[in-house]
Amino acid sequence: MRKAVMVKNLTKVFYKSGQEIPVLRNINLSVNEGEFVSIIGPSGCGKSTLLNIISGLLKPTSGEVFVSGERVNGPCTKVGYMFQSDLLLPWRTAIANVELGLEIRGVSKEERRKMAEAVIKSMGLSGFEHFYPHELSGGMRQRIALARTLVLNPTVLLMDEPFGALDAQTRTLLGNELLRLWRKYNKTIIFVTHDLSEAISLAQRVIVLSKRPATVKAEYRVDLPESRDVTKIVKEDSFLKLYSTIWRDLTEEIGGG
Amino acid sequence: MQWSIAKEKVAINTSRIMVLLGVIVFWEAVSEIFGLVHPVWISSPSRIAKRLIEWIAGDLARHLAITLWETILGFSIGVLLGIALGLILGLYKRALAILDPYIMALNSLPRIVLAPLFILWFGIGITSKVVLIITMVLFVLLYNTIAGVRSIDQAYFNLMLSLGASLRHIMIKLVLPWCVPYIFAGIKLSIGMALVGAVVGEFLASNAGLGYLIAWSSSMFDTTGVFAGIVILMILAIAIDQGMKLLERKVQRWRPGT
């Protein structure tokens, strides 16, 4: 199987007021094309830093990242990045926000309007195109942010706790929505979260990071069907067994001082 | 609900006019009707009105045009320079750190101490006033634009970069629109200053303009002329303020609560 993302011996050190702060230490991971992987770890362990490096926003101190076989060196157009907050531009309507990336890439006005409308429709937000962000709910805003990423048709989707600011109900709804879109568009998704239940219920594989400086502590295959319902799956035995296994790993990292 | 807001507005406007009328009547009574204070000191509304009519028939239009032209020119250049410098210094923190004390020092100078220099360098025509206005307006826009750029969360820059944006894209699609409310606040603050700058400049040395008109009247101990000039300035200030409010509503329709 072809690798969508390869991370090789990745190390990142930050320098703050003359001190070295190692954040990532010798991370190796690979993600197959079309795979849905979630990354979990104690908060502040450097998960966002890892995504920033994969996306090309940050340079690693040492090590390499490859996306679809190409070495990442600066922001990469094959990668779509979704952030913790929706980051919609408040002076743009929903559809104009979705068109932002297309504008930057020089797509013509009629073309990008058509593309944006199609994605908004597939997310079930038709009718809200001309609403301003402050007129939309948190869940809708995050879906518009997802539409802004998807409309650029990236091969790899990086998601940094994208549902973290939402209430539990909206969260599971968007989780199901994301799974539907993943199956439909056949994307590779790397989903960072600190919510273990979310990590297992969405992904095919869970990667556990250690506390800072983060290394890959463990990997677990999630043997649950691809077409699953996030609300129901959390009650199944195999889910609960996996949950308690990974939870042990995590508590070692959080509690093990 | 709508109806009561409309009624409230009518009530406020009526009261405003009553206040104005009250002041005019009181003034007229004190100086002309009861002769409590001689009109030589405080003039009177009727004298001022008569003078305004004379001026309008005379060459008020020329003086007004010159003052407005100085204001608009100095204001526009000052705003554009202030925004441009503000964007650069807002994005390049290093440059700001280096220049900050000098900008502070220049900004804390009362501009009036510079006016004699500008008159010496640029003469008593409009150029010296325009330069004086620029030095007043520029700093307001500079500081406001810097504050605007600084208020942008780093995450937005990451978003733009992840979408493949160049520096030009980031400026046009993120930074500049983000700063619009800050720039507007600066414009609102400084447009009145620009008018003041023009009048003060003319007051010091000129041969035309509203400030010249007031200075000339004052040197003749002509209080009516001084008050007539002041009335015109007040009308200008109100007109500018209303115009700005209208423009602001148009530009910032996306803001919640407007």
Q: Do A83 and B165 touch (CB under 8 A)?
A: no
**Mean per-residue pLDDT for A177-181?**
91
Among candidates B69, B161, B80, which has minimal Cα distance to A59? B161
Distance CA B198, CA B209 (A): 9
B258/B249 Cα distance (integer angstroms): 7
pLDDT tens for A145-176 read 999 999 999 999 999 999 988 888 888 889 99
Given the structure tokens 């702060």, which residue do they identify? A21
Residue A110 Cα distances to A3, A93, A118, B40, angstroms: 35, 16, 12, 71
CA trace torsion B70, B72, B77, B81 (10° rounding): 130
Which chain B residues are closer than 8 Å to A80 by Cβ?
162
Of residues B158 and A235, more confidently modeled: B158
- Report the alpha-carbon distance of residue A83 to residue B159 in Å, rounded: 8
| pLDDT-derived band at B258, boundaries 50, 70, 90 | very low
From the list B155, B164, B255, the residue facing A87 with the nearest CB is: B155
Residue B152 identity: I
Other CB atoms within 10 Å distance of the CB of residue A52: 20
Distance from CA of A205 to the nearest CA of B (A): 25
Instruction: Based on DSSP, count helices (H) and strands (E) in chain A, helices before strands.
Output: 9, 10
The neighbouring-strand residues paired with A12 are A24
Q: Closest CB to B177: pick one of A81, A91, A134.
A: A91
Give start and end residues of each alpha helix (H) in B29-59.
Answer: 39-42, 45-57
CA closest to A90 among chain B residues: B254
> For the segment B108-157, what is each residue's pLDDT rounded down to a tens digit?
999 889 999 999 999 999 999 999 999 999 999 999 999 999 999 999 99
Higher pLDDT, B258 or B143: B143
| Residue with the two structure tokens 């009861």 | B34
Strands A188-193 and A205-209: unpaired
How much is the average pLDDT of A180-188? Answer: 90
Candidates A108, A110, A88, A90; CA nearest to A98 is A88
Band the pLDDT of A111: cuts 50, 70, 90: very high
Q: Does A83 touch chain B (CB under 8 A)?
A: yes
Measured in angstroms, the CA of B252 and the nearest CA of chain A are apart by 8
Contacts of B161 in chain A (CB under 8 A): 57, 75
List, edge to edge, every strand of the sheet that includes A188-193: A79-82, A156-160, A188-193, A36-40, A205-209, A216-221
Radius of gyration, CA atoms only, chain A: 18
The verdict on a CB contact (< 8 Å) between B173 and A80 is no
Determine the 3-state secondary structure of B143 from DSSP.
Answer: helix
Which residues, listed in sequence order, are joined to residue A39 by a DSSP beta bridge?
A192, A207
Q: What is the pTM of this model?
A: 0.85
Residue of B nearest to A133 (CA): B254
pLDDT band of A1, cuts 50, 70, 90: low
If DSSP codes are grouped into helix, strand and coil, which group holds residue A44?
coil
Radius of gyration, alpha carbons of chain B: 23
Please tell me whether the peptide bond between B177 and the residue prior to it is cis, using omega within 30 degrees of 0.
Answer: no
Beta-sheet pairing, A216-221 with A70-71: unpaired
Give yes or no for residue A257 having a pLDDT over 50. Answer: no
The pLDDT assigned to B1 comes to 53
Reduced 3-state DSSP string for B164-199: CCCHHHHHHHHHHHHHHHHHHHHHHHHHHHHHHHHH
Which two three-digit tokens encode residue B209?
């303009």
Closest CB to B159: pick one of A83, A90, A91.
A83
Q: What is the mean pLDDT of chain B?
A: 92
| Secondary structure (3-state) at A216 | strand
Looking at residue A72, its amino acid is V
Interface probe, candidates B163, B175, B248, chain A, greatest A C-beta count within 10 A: B163
Residue B251 has pLDDT above 80, yes or no: no
Residue A177 C-alpha, separation from nearest chain B C-alpha, in angstroms: 22
The model's pLDDT over B164-209, given as tens digits with 9 standing for 90+, comes to 999 999 999 999 999 999 999 999 889 989 999 999 999 998 999 9
Average pLDDT over residues A77-86: 91
The answer to whether the Cβ–Cβ distance between A105 and B165 falls below 8 Å is no
Compute the nearest-CA separation of B258 from chain A (Å): 12
Residue with tokens 């447009």: B191
Q: Kindly tell me if the per-residue pLDDT of A256 is higher than 60.
A: no
Measure CA B214 to chain center: 19
Q: For A14-66, what is each residue's pLDDT tens digit?
A: 998 889 999 999 999 999 999 999 999 887 788 899 999 999 999 999 999 99
- Check residue B254 and give its pLDDT: 65
Summary mean pLDDT of chain A:
91
Average pLDDT over residues A84-90: 94
Q: Taking 90 as the threshold, does the pLDDT of residue A249 lie above it?
A: no
